[in-house]
Chains A and B, each alone.
Chain A
Amino acid sequence: MNPLKWPTIEPFYKLVIGENRKGQLNAIVKMVGLPLTGIFVFLLIWQGAASHIHTSLGQFPGPQQTYEQFVSLVDEAKASSLKEQAFYERQYVRNEKKLAANSEAEVKVRDYTGPPTFFDQIGRSLVTVISGFLLASLIAVPIGIVIGLSSNAYAAFNPIIQIFKPVSPLAWLPLVTMVVSAVYVTDDPMFDKAFLNSMFTVLLCCLWPTIINTAAGVATVTQDLKNVSQVLSLNWWTHIRKIVLPCSIPMMFTGLRISFGIAWMVLIAAEMLAQNPGLGKFVWDEFQNGSSDSLGRIMVAVVVIGIVGFILDRGMLMIQQAVSWDKSATLR
Chain B
Amino acid sequence: MSEVHLELTNVGIEFPTPRGPFRALRDINLKIDQGEFVSLIGHSGCGKSTVLNIVAGLYEATEGGVLLDGREVNSPGPERAVVFQNHSLLPWLSAYENVELAVDQVFKKSKTAAEKKEWIEYNLKLVHMDHAMHKRPDEISGGMKQRVGIARALAMQPEVMLMDEPFGALDALTRAHLQDSLMEIQKALNNTVIMITHDVDEAVLLSDRIVMMTNGPNATIGEILKIDLPHPRDRLALADDPTYNHYRSEVMRFLYEKQRKVEH
Which residues 306-327 in A have Cβ within 8 Å of B in the complex?
325-326
Q: What mask results when residues 238 to 254 of chain A are scored 1 for a CB within 8 Å of chain B, else 0?
A: 10001100110000000
Compute how far the CA of A328 lies from the CA of B91 in the bound complex, rounded to whole angstroms.
12
Q: Which residues of A contact B77 (CB under 8 A)?
A: 231, 233
Compute how far the CA of A247 lies from the CA of B91 in the bound complex, rounded to whole angstroms.
9
Compute how far the CA of A183 lies from the CA of B101 in the bound complex, rounded to whole angstroms.
47
- Are A233 and B138 neighbours in the complex by a CB distance under 8 Å? no
* CB-based nearest A residue for B56: A231
- Are A228 and B92 neighbours in the complex by a CB distance under 8 Å? no
How many chain A residues sit at the interface, stated as a range, is 10 to 19
Binds A, one of B23-31, B78-86, B126-134, B243-251: B78-86
| Among A231, A233, A246, A328, contact of B90 (Cβ-Cβ < 8 Å) | A246
- Are A233 and B76 neighbours in the complex by a CB distance under 8 Å? yes
Given A231-B78, A231-B80: A225 in contact with B88 (beta carbons within 8 A): yes
Given A231-B78, A232-B105: A225 in contact with B138 (beta carbons within 8 A): no
- Are A230 and B58 neighbours in the complex by a CB distance under 8 Å? yes
| Among A232, A247, A325, A328, contact of B101 (Cβ-Cβ < 8 Å) | A232
- Interface of B, helix, strand, loop or mixed by DSSP: loop
Compute how far the CA of A230 lies from the CA of B58 in the bound complex, rounded to whole angstroms.
8
CB of B182 closer than 8 Å to a CB of A: no
Compute how far the CA of A224 lies from the CA of B91 in the bound complex, rounded to whole angstroms.
12
Q: Which residues of B contact A326 (CB under 8 A)?
A: 91-92
- Are A231 and B81 neighbours in the complex by a CB distance under 8 Å? yes
- Are A228 and B84 neighbours in the complex by a CB distance under 8 Å? yes
Q: Which residues of B contact A43 (CB under 8 A)?
A: none
Q: Which residues of B contact A328 (CB under 8 A)?
A: 138
Compute how far the CA of A326 lies from the CA of B139 in the bound complex, rounded to whole angstroms.
12
Q: Which residues of A contact B82 (CB under 8 A)?
A: 227, 231
Q: Which residues of A contact B156 (CB under 8 A)?
A: 232
How many chain B residues sit at the interface, stated as a range, is 20 to 34
* CB-based nearest A residue for B81: A231
CB of A50 closer than 8 Å to a CB of B: no
- Are B76 and A231 neighbours in the complex by a CB distance under 8 Å? yes
Given A224-B84, A227-B84, A328-B138: A232 in contact with B78 (beta carbons within 8 A): yes
CB of A234 closer than 8 Å to a CB of B: yes
Compute how far the CA of A232 lies from the CA of B149 in the bound complex, rounded to whole angstroms.
13
- Are A224 and B86 neighbours in the complex by a CB distance under 8 Å? yes
* CB-based nearest B residue for A325: B92
Q: Which residues of A contact B105 (CB under 8 A)?
A: 232-234, 238
Which residues 52-101 in B have Cβ within 8 Å of A in the complex?
56-58, 75-78, 80-82, 84, 86, 88, 90-92, 101
CB of B102 closer than 8 Å to a CB of A: yes
Given A231-B76, A232-B101: A325 in contact with B81 (beta carbons within 8 A): no
Q: Which residues of A contact B56 (CB under 8 A)?
A: 227, 231
Measured CB to CB, the closest approach of chain A to B189, in angstroms, equals 19
Q: Which residues of B contact A243 (CB under 8 A)?
A: 90
Compute how far the CA of A86 lies from the CA of B78 in the bound complex, rounded to whole angstroms.
73
Compute how far the CA of A238 lies from the CA of B88 in the bound complex, rounded to whole angstroms.
17
Compute how far the CA of A224 lies from the CA of B75 in the bound complex, rounded to whole angstroms.
16
Compute how far the CA of A105 lies from the CA of B67 in the bound complex, rounded to whole angstroms.
90
Q: Which 10 A-B pairs have the closest CB atoms?
A: A325-B92, A230-B76, A224-B88, A246-B92, A231-B76, A232-B105, A231-B82, A228-B88, A233-B77, A227-B58
